Amino acid sequence: MLMPGAVQMARKNKASPSLYLMPMAFASLLGGLTTLIGTSPNIIVSRVREEMTGEPFGMFDYLPTGAALLVVGLLFLSVGWRLLPTDRNAAQGMAEAINISAYVIEATVTEGSPVAGLTVAEFHERNEGEIGVTGLMRGDMRGEVLPYTTIGEGDVLILSGEPDVLERIVAADRLTLAGDGKGKGDEPQRADNIGVIEAVIRSDSALIGRTARRLNMRDRLGINLIAISREGATIANKPGNTVLQAGDVIVLQGPLETMPARLSEMGALPLAERQIGLGSRKARWLPLIILACAMVAAGSGVVPAAMAFFAAASLTVITGALPADEAYKAIEWPILIMLAALIPVSESLQTTGASDLIAVVLANFAVQLPAWGAVALILVAAMAVTPFLNNAATVLVMAPIAAVFAEQLHYRPEAFLIATAIGAGCDFLTPIGHQCNTLVLGPGGYRFGDYARLGAPLSVMVVVIGTPLILWAWPL
């Protein structure tokens, strides 16, 4: 959610995205330590504690240690970002690969427009040369675009330029985009339900070799083609009359609730929304209200956290705030399958005595250590295992061992379970231990070893500061 903003901030400051993305990812990991639902390890160790003591961890039982680590971690990241390389180039994303810098739109000069009566040269001068007039239609006649050609009311201009510039000039010069505000059958549609979507035409799209006018896109599909961008080409035709090609970036206007289905039908991939009005305010606020209610219910202990958030997820689908097909697609099935497979492995470690054996070996090593040394040992062990498994998988394996380890040393298990959760949730050394680290790998242009440059000192800090915090919050 925050990654596009971080990349945009880097561009605005003319800095490498690598200076922003990794600190952001690490901050999100630290933030996840503060509540039960912040990370999956917290939920799993809560279940282990419930099995051992009959009482799970509450929503905010993680807050004393997590909040302190978050504050210290943020202070470190505010200065530690200087350890990151500044010469990393982001992997080429979709937008860069298809070059969406210049769009072509069709706009009509309305009555009273300030550009009516200007020549093309004066129009360019008025707009500081930020856009170009590549075509001009007057009635059924197509006029040659010359510097001294006069623009009149009702003329249709084919304009080329940056998306943001085109949007600004269309508003300032009182131009009307082709098909603006119209939908299926040319009937007006609710403004709060209309959006503008940017999409790229796939190589197997049914749009290739056809024009929007030939496809009768507005009447058949209820959407308007209002702009086209094509790498390395200047388009002089109306967007509706332009023969579409694979790789073209198109801007479509229409009802947002049907747009995903229309894009799939046409063989186009959505890139970005180009309009702020994305539906009713009720629909936007409803998921936040449902989430807040679930957090209050879980935090107050009225219902178990798992039940509260399952009910919240169900409500978002039932109320229509999230379509059922999108909810289904959002489920990380590979991770769920992996965790489901590791649950019996975790149970077998306990039933076969393997966890007891490992715990006894660790306890024999730790028997000479002070209490803080034993907690630090579990914390470091969880940190070391996470890069090779997954944060949730690490807890499934380590939590039973940590619990038996505590029993062997005649300590209460809570501190060791919290240490396991923190260690598994703080993989700052690799891009593979947590999804946040993986997500920023390409956009930040990082190499595998870059994570340790910022992550190694942060990991040491978590161990040094986290150990006494755990013992303070959860006495042995």
Q: pLDDT tens digit string along 252-308?
A: 877 777 788 888 888 887 765 444 333 344 456 788 888 888 888 877 777 777 788
Q: Are residues 264 and 153 in the same domain?
A: yes
Q: Are residues 313 and 346 in the same domain?
A: no
Which of 168 and 24 is assigned the larger pLDDT? Answer: 24
CA 139 to chain centre: 46
Q: Which residue has the tokens 């306890």?
A: 363
Query: What are the residue ranges of helices labelled H in 331-385?
Result: 333-351, 354-366, 371-385
Q: Are residues 118 and 180 in the same domain?
A: yes
Q: Which residue has the tokens 């595998």?
A: 448
Task: Return the bridge partners of 135, or none.
Answer: 158
Q: Are residues 45 and 117 in the same domain?
A: no
C-alpha neighbours within 13 Å on the C-beta side of residue 108: 10
**Structural domain total, the chain:** 3
- DSSP letters, 3-38, are HHHHHHHHHHTT--THHHHHHHHHHHHHHTTSSTTS
Residue type, 350: Q
Which residue from 223, 229, 259 is spatially nearest to 242, judged by alpha carbons? 229
pLDDT tops 50 at residue 186: no
Domain end among 296, 330, 364: 330
pLDDT tops 50 at residue 100: no
Q: Are residues 307 and 218 in the same domain?
A: no
Residue 208 in tokens:
């290739």
User: What's the pLDDT at 284?
Assistant: 60
Q: What is the mean pLDDT of residues 428-447?
A: 80
pLDDT tens profile 345-396: 767 766 777 767 777 777 777 778 898 999 999 999 999 888 877 788 788 8
Across 35-49, 317-331, 384-398, 437-451, least confident range: 317-331
pLDDT tops 60 at residue 90: no
Which of 179 and 122 is assigned the larger pLDDT? Answer: 122
| Dihedral angle of Cα 450, 31, 33, 366, to the nearest 10 degrees | 40
> Which residues, 6+ apart, have CB-to-CB distance to 97 below 8 Å?
none
Residue 195 confidence class, pLDDT cut points 50, 70, 90: low
- The Cα 161–Cα 145 span in angstroms is 16
- For residue 214, CA distances in Å to 207, 226, 239, 243 come to 10, 15, 12, 9
Q: Which residue has the tokens 């279940």?
A: 47
Residue 393 in tokens:
């998988």
- The Cα 154–Cα 148 span in angstroms is 18
Q: Are 246 and 228 in contact (CB under 8 A)?
A: no
Q: Are 136 and 142 in contact (CB under 8 A)?
A: yes
Burial of 405 (0-12, 13-18, 19+ CB in 10 A): buried
Q: Are residues 346 and 466 in the same domain?
A: yes
Q: Which of 227-241, 319-333, 383-397 has the highest mean pLDDT?
A: 383-397
Residue 93 confidence class, pLDDT cut points 50, 70, 90: very low
Residue 79 confidence class, pLDDT cut points 50, 70, 90: very high
What are φ and ψ of residue 142, in 5° steps?
-105, 115
The 8-class DSSP code of residue 192 comes to G
User: What radius of gyration, in Å, describes the C-alpha atoms of the chain?
Assistant: 29
> Which residues, 6+ apart, have CB-to-CB distance to 141 below 8 Å?
none
Q: Are residues 242 and 287 in the same domain?
A: no
Which residue from 159, 150, 144, 149 is spatially nearest to 108, judged by alpha carbons? 159
User: What's the pLDDT at 285?
Assistant: 77
User: What's the pLDDT at 363?
Assistant: 79
pLDDT tops 60 at residue 181: no
> Which residues, 6+ apart, have CB-to-CB distance to 274 below 8 Å?
163, 167, 196, 197, 198, 251
User: What's the pLDDT at 362?
Assistant: 79
Q: Are residues 242 and 131 in the same domain?
A: yes
Q: Are residues 228 and 375 in the same domain?
A: no
User: What's the pLDDT at 188?
Assistant: 41
Q: Are residues 267 and 380 in the same domain?
A: no
| Dihedral angle of Cα 320, 321, 324, 330, to the nearest 10 degrees | 180
Which residue from 467, 464, 465, 426 is spatially nearest to 31, judged by alpha carbons? 426
Residue type, 136: L
What are φ and ψ of residue 306, in 5° steps?
-60, -45
Q: Are residues 62 and 132 in the same domain?
A: no
Q: Are residues 254 and 403 in the same domain?
A: no
User: What's the pLDDT at 227?
Assistant: 74
Domain of 118: which CATH number? 3.30.70.1450
Domain that holds residue 296: 281-330
